[in-house]
Structure 1
Amino acid sequence: MKAAVYTLIALIAFAANSLFCRMALAEGDIDPYNFTIIRLLSGAACLGIIMSVTTYNQKRKGLFNDAILSDTGSWRSSISLLVYAVCFSVAYVELDTGTGALILFSAVQLTMIGWGIYNKEQLSGVQWTAFFVAVAGFVYLMLPSAAVPSLIGAGLMALSGVAWGVYSIRGKVCVSPLRTTGFNFVRSLVALPILLLVSMSYFNSLTIQGVLLACASGAIASGIGYSIWYVAMPLLKSTQAAVVQLCVPVIAAVAGVIFLQEQLTLEFISASLLILTAVLVFILNKQKE
């Protein structure tokens, strides 16, 4: 039950991130480079504040130990986070929503399921069937809005998906998800000078709404959301963590209907039910030992 709750919260955060990115980047309220800078900075700042408060409380109650103290993320995870964030933002403005989602989630699935199989996570016949049904539903959901992608945009989005898959997998071994995520965000800021140089020519095009959306994406959907994802990851197999992420576009689309007055169609309802049912069957079915 705990795994299900944390996973659901993380998926909602991912969907919120998708909406924040769409509202900021697709509408031209901010460029991808400044969006990424603000996203990483606000994520690091938010987690830094939360870490300071929780560390103080843990020390006061005698709960802060050497294992927690030594869990400060890693450069590999930080680089994966940085590559994902930069490539995603840049590719987002190069691709339409459907194409970007198809490429991103395909790369995530290949990376995480491939890693799971490499590490002897054997799927049952029912799980393989459920996986392909979920993928079919996902393609059916996204294909109508897809178009022929630019080579650069497609490559960057694929790289973003691989990087996110790697970042997710590395969360399976963390002791303190909050500290790990916080330090990963802080380390990712090593690229800040380069990003600032690239983004300077876009400063005049920044809008307040774009900056606020980037802050919300970084602090809430990314910083807090990724910390919760790192709580869930040790409780999930890599293959399970991969497949459940196919629900993110469904959640994002529902949020779009509720908050952005987007149209609800019969095709969307059919595809969503197909994806959610297949993912549920995949999770509930026991894997081969």
Structure 2
Amino acid sequence: MSPQVSSVRIALFTVVTMIAFAGNSVLCRMALKHTTIDAATFTSIRLVSGAVVLGLIVRFARAGRTGAGNWWSALALFAYAAGFSLAYVSLSAATGALLLFGSVQATMIGRGLWMGERLARLQWLGLVLALAGLVGLMLPGLSAPPLFGAALMLVAGFAWGVYSLRGKGAGDPTLVTAGNFWRAAVLALVLSGLMRDSLNWDVDGVAYAIASGALTSGLGYVIWYSVLPALKATQAATLQLSVPVLATLGGVAFLGEVVTMQFVFASIAALGGIALGIWGKSASAA
């Protein structure tokens, strides 16, 4: 494969992955807003369908790969998926994606500080700006998100940050993700069993959950892991800034959501701050 074709392939797969990640927010919100499916059932179907797709991919993958999931990582994955679904009962796709992404990045930075990592001035500026953006989003007003839903999404972001940190160096990402997905699916089914008296579903809701699990989660992660080795760490982190933006566009296009000025200013501050943190870390390392 020529370098030019390889570059086009990487760019195409990267774009597809970012759309898939943003699609998780849109699909979940569409299911919980426009169908009768409940959050627990959506979570269970999402994780089970993701586990099935990843299991099939692993089954036909090349030999020689090593790696497996574990129950602690699966618990973090389950906490993310459950908090994500429960939060989207009340949050818009755009607000949920921004809160999730901000919480993930805050978890990553917080862990670095806990381990004794020193931040450069540009990173501190970015951190303060990002936190100011998230606080600005939560300020009381007509467009402020429900507090309980926002808190759930922040917890989901924290759980995803923990899951990501635990996955570093654990082995082949696809194998590890597949192992964690089936374990998380078991936990989700247990939750659904405990909530069996309040479970609801319909055909459309199940279809959205399967699409979220099999396509935008399972296949999305596999494609992302296939292009990640070709990207610099700074590139990968910067590209993920597009996910909340794409989720916002999806919410406007498919859910008729209205973007307020409070959200716009909060997004600029939060995403701009995260970008400063990423670039500041890169400059400091150089």
Instruction: Give the number of aligned pairs.
Output: 270
1:46 pairs with one of 30, 42, 53 = 53
Partner of 1:146: 144
* CA RMSD, 1 decimal: 3.6
CA pair 194-259 structure 1, distance change in 2 beyond 3 A: closer
Partner of 1:76: 72
Q: Following TM superposition, by how much is the alpha carbon of 1:230 offset from its aligned partner in structure 2, in angstroms?
A: 5.3
Q: Tell me if the contact between 2:25 and 2:96 (Cα under 8 Å) persists in the aligned partners.
A: no
Q: 1:128-147 to 2 correspondence within 5 Å?
A: 128-137=124-133, 145-147=143-145
CA pair 269-84 structure 1, distance change in 2 beyond 3 A: closer
Q: Any stretches of 5+ residues in structure 1 without a counterpart? A: 59-63
Partner of 1:211: 206
Q: Secondary structure at the match of 1:173?
A: coil
Query: What whole-Å deviation, never above 9, does each CA across 1:51-105 have from its counterpart, x for those lacking one?
Result: 222x2xx2xxxxx22xx23x01222211110111122222332x43377567644
Partner of 2:3: none
Q: Following TM superposition, by how much is the alpha carbon of 1:157 offset from its aligned partner in structure 2, in angstroms?
A: 3.6
1:163 pairs with one of 155, 159, 165 = 159
CA pair 32-115 structure 1, distance change in 2 beyond 3 A: same
Partner of 1:236: 233
CA pair 73-37 structure 1, distance change in 2 beyond 3 A: same
Q: Tell me if the contact between 1:29 and 1:206 (Cα under 8 Å) persists in the aligned partners.
A: yes
Report the Cα distance in structure 2 between the residues aligned to 1:211 and 1:149, rounded to whole angstroms: 28
Partner of 1:27: 34
Report the Cα distance in structure 1 between the residues aligned to 2:277 and 2:155, rounded to whole angstroms: 26
1:110 pairs with one of 106, 111, 119 = 106
Report the Cα distance in structure 2 between the residues aligned to 1:193 and 1:34, rounded to whole angstroms: 8
Report the Cα distance in structure 1 between the residues aligned to 2:133 and 2:243, rounded to whole angstroms: 13
Partner of 1:125: 121
Report the Cα distance in structure 2 between the residues aligned to 1:26 and 1:189, rounded to whole angstroms: 23
Q: Tell me if the contact between 1:10 and 1:226 (Cα under 8 Å) persists in the aligned partners.
A: yes
1:16 pairs with one of 20, 23, 40 = 23
Q: Tell me if the contact between 2:125 and 2:276 (Cα under 8 Å) persists in the aligned partners.
A: no
Q: Tell me if the contact between 1:112 and 1:169 (Cα under 8 Å) persists in the aligned partners.
A: yes
Report the Cα distance in structure 2 between the residues aligned to 1:137 and 1:192, rounded to whole angstroms: 33
Q: Tell me if the contact between 2:49 and 2:210 (Cα under 8 Å) persists in the aligned partners.
A: yes
Query: What whole-Å deviation, never above 9, does each CA across 1:164-185 have from its counterpart, x for those lacking one?
Result: 1101112321431111111110
Matched, 1:251 2:246: yes
Counterpart code for 2:214: A
Q: Any stretches of 5+ residues in structure 2 without a counterpart? A: 1-6
Moved more, 277-286 or 72-81: 277-286
Q: Tell me if the contact between 2:137 and 2:144 (Cα under 8 Å) persists in the aligned partners.
A: no
Counterpart code for 1:39: R
Report the Cα distance in structure 2 between the residues aligned to 1:46 and 1:287, rounded to whole angstroms: 39
Q: Following TM superposition, by how much is the alpha carbon of 1:15 offset from its aligned partner in structure 2, in angstroms?
A: 1.3
Q: Following TM superposition, by how much is the alpha carbon of 1:211 offset from its aligned partner in structure 2, in angstroms?
A: 0.5
Output the TM-score relative to the length of structure 2: 0.76
CA pair 89-172 structure 1, distance change in 2 beyond 3 A: same
Counterpart code for 1:183: G
Counterpart code for 2:107: T
Partner of 1:96: 91
CA pair 171-226 structure 1, distance change in 2 beyond 3 A: farther
Matched, 1:181 2:191: no
Counterpart code for 1:179: L
Q: Following TM superposition, by how much is the alpha carbon of 1:244 offset from its aligned partner in structure 2, in angstroms?
A: 6.7
Report the Cα distance in structure 2 between the residues aligned to 1:273 and 1:83, rounded to whole angstroms: 28
Output the TM-score relative to the length of structure 1: 0.75
Q: Following TM superposition, by how much is the alpha carbon of 1:126 offset from its aligned partner in structure 2, in angstroms?
A: 1.8
CA pair 230-163 structure 1, distance change in 2 beyond 3 A: farther
Report the Cα distance in structure 1 between the residues aligned to 2:244 and 2:135, rounded to whole angstroms: 11
